Amino acid sequence: MADFRYRIAPSPTGNFHIGTLRATLFNWLLARHHKGTLILRIEDTDKARSKPEFEHNIIDEMNWLGLTPDEGPIQGGPHGPYRQSERMALGLYTQYAVQLVAAKKAYPCFCTETELDQERQAAEVAHKPYVYGGKCRHLTPENIRAKQEAGIPHSLRFQLPDSGNCEFEDLIRGPLSFDWALLSDFVIVRSDGSPSYNFAVVVDDVEMKISHVVRGEDHISNTPRQIALFTALNTTPPHFAHLPMILAPDRSKLSKRHGATSVSDYRKQGFLAEALLNYLVLLGWSSPLGQELMPRDEIITQFGLDRISKSGAIFDLVKLKWMNGQYIRKLEAPALFEAVTPFLEPTLLSAFSPDLQQKIVFSVRDNLDVLGDINTFVSVYALTQDQYIEKIAQITWSDTDKIVITAWKDWLAAHPTPTPEDIQAGLDHIVTTTQLGKGKVFKPIRVACSGIGNGPHLPDLLSILPTATLIERCTYVLDRA
Ligand code: GLU
């Protein structure tokens, strides 16, 4: 059976980005679906911009999401090291560069930045796409030696065909064709000895035996260059699949100005890992069964490249929040309490026992879009008497409100320690005896007892607040109404 080997290759130049997460998720799902392998390779050759803390962030968030790779800097594996900086230190890229120069597929280029800028400007003036002029393509071995001996710095360029097309089958976009004449011979090793992105990627994909490259569409223009390199290294290129971009609601590229873009931002707001993954998988993919809320195992079973759309997918925060709310409501009370605890203001519920705190949190589950909303919704339980008085100061109570509140107060006096079920029965009893609809009964009771017109499931709220407090508040309202 063919070996399915996927990779994600983030550059640690920023926190784990939501677009990189989507590519990670798709590769992880493909690896799981095909019982293959997912490799994490850290592309940290850009010394100025790469930082260890960004690598830690990527790995931490992958762990939080349960998207751990099979091979990578932490797991190790047979094709390590898995950081390009370490691979570079081992001279791995140099070996391949030497091989390409020996085969006359790459050549030293002594052109200076100034010369190259002049070429670029001339192309601009002539309204032509810039293509490297090939000045160093035909240097004789003597020329080269002389320049090297004179200490002139040089890069290594890879020679592309001058004419014809690069054709390949993209597993999402179908057959694609690129005109070689429009592509420059490109740098594979910079004058400081470091490998360029296109070169390092191909060497690593060869060495790590990658079978499928699944990445964002922004890399599509690199693919012909990379295919040419695979071929020059006498290897079969992997299959390529380019994912549609994630777009902002105005169909522009998703960026910081549209809000949070890093996975950590979403985690800090209180999105659940499962909800974030379920939402992201639907950005560009759809279930053959038309399902939306899907457990991870179900997604793995159904997932495949064949149902990935070619067009960009719009990131819809409202839908993500809705989905997160659905996942929050699926949690049992202990799991919800555990998930919410890091978000809970420590002193807010300290007057309640741990058991009651758990009940309080569970009672507001329907109100939460994100776990970070918790303090807003549980604060109703923590109102001081002064805060309560202030909240109801402006309320005018109708005659029916007074009838309902009186009936409720009497019911409470007869039921000092009611359960939520008792309370539900009590409320239903008042609805029946007063013959006022549910709304006209529930609303004044809620406001009189909590000071707030909306919030937790009413029987939960009324069973958690101490009965004495409820009676005291009803008395306060009736005395002043
Ligand atoms: N290091 C590249 C990036 O972060 C990876 C590109 C690729 O997947 O080939 O965009």
Return the pLDDT at 43: 98
- The residue nearest atom 10 of ligand 1, judged by CA position, is 10
Residue 470 has pLDDT above 80, yes or no: yes
Mean pLDDT for the stretch of residues 244-266:
90
Return the pLDDT at 481: 78
Ligand 1 centroid – CA 103 distance (Å): 27
Mean pLDDT for the stretch of residues 29-50:
96
23 Cβ inside 6 Å of ligand 1: no
9 Cβ inside 6 Å of ligand 1: yes
Query: pLDDT (tens digit, 9 = 90+) per residue, 375-428?
Result: 999 999 999 999 999 999 999 999 999 999 999 999 999 999 999 999 999 999
Mean pLDDT for the stretch of residues 439-454:
96
Best residue for ligand 1 mutational test, from 13, 197, 217, 229 (most atoms within 8 Å of Cβ):
197
Do residues 4 and 30 touch, judged by C-beta distance below 8 A? yes
- The residue nearest atom 7 of ligand 1, judged by CA position, is 9
Query: pLDDT (tens digit, 9 = 90+) per residue, 82-98?
Result: 999 999 999 999 999 99
Ligand 1 centroid – CA 74 distance (Å): 19
Query: pLDDT (tens digit, 9 = 90+) per residue, 228-242?
Result: 999 999 999 999 999
Return the pLDDT at 118: 96
- Which range has the worst mean pLDDT, 99-108, 258-267, 286-295, 422-431? 258-267
Best residue for ligand 1 mutational test, from 201, 203, 220, 225 (most atoms within 8 Å of Cβ):
201
Ligand 1 centroid – CA 202 distance (Å): 11
Ligand 1 centroid – CA 162 distance (Å): 27
Return the pLDDT at 2: 63
Ligand 1 centroid – CA 136 distance (Å): 29
**Using CA atoms, how far apart are residues 181 and 374, in angstroms rounded to an integer?**
59
The residue from 256, 321, 359, 402 that is catalytic is 256
201 Cβ inside 6 Å of ligand 1: yes
| Residue 256 annotated in active site | yes
Ligand 1 centroid – CA 292 distance (Å): 29
Best residue for ligand 1 mutational test, from 84, 87, 219, 253 (most atoms within 8 Å of Cβ):
219
363 Cβ inside 6 Å of ligand 1: no
Ligand 1 centroid – CA 43 distance (Å): 7
Residue 1 has pLDDT above 60, yes or no: no
Mean of the per-residue pLDDT values for the chain?
96
Residue 36 has pLDDT above 70, yes or no: yes
Q: What percent of the chain has pLDDT over 90?
A: 95
219 Cβ inside 6 Å of ligand 1: yes
Mean pLDDT for the stretch of residues 154-177:
98
Mean pLDDT for the stretch of residues 269-288:
97
409 Cβ inside 6 Å of ligand 1: no
Return the pLDDT at 253: 85
Encode the chain in three state secondary structure.
CCCCEEEECCCCCCCCEHHHHHHHHHHHHHHHHCCCEEEECECCCCCCCCCHHHHHHHHHHHHHCCCCCCEECCCECCCCCCEHHHHHHCCHHHHHHHHHHHCCCEEEECCCHHHHHHHHHHHHHCCCCCCCCCCCCCCCHHHHHHHHHCCCCCEEEECCCCCCEEEEEECCCEEEEEEHHHCCCEEEECCCCCECHHHHHHHHHHHCCCCEEEEEHHHHHHHHHHHHHHHHCCCCCCEEEEECCEECCCCCECCHHHCCCEHHHHHHHCCCHHHHHHHHHCCCECCCCCCCCCCHHHHHHHCCHHHECCCCEECCHHHHHHHHHHHHHHCCHHHHHHHHHHHCCCCCCCCCCHHHHHHHHHHCHHHCCCHHHHHHHHHHHHCCHHHHHHHHCCCCCCHHHHHHHHHHHHHHHHCCCCCHHHHHHHHHHHHHHHCCCHHHHHHHHHHHHHCCCCCCCHHHHHHHCCHHHHHHHHHHHHHHC
418 Cβ inside 6 Å of ligand 1: no
Query: pLDDT (tens digit, 9 = 90+) per residue, 87-146?
Result: 999 999 999 999 999 999 999 999 999 999 999 999 999 999 999 999 999 999 999 999
Mean pLDDT for the stretch of residues 247-256:
87
Query: pLDDT (tens digit, 9 = 90+) per residue, 307-344?
Result: 999 999 999 999 999 999 999 999 999 999 999 999 99
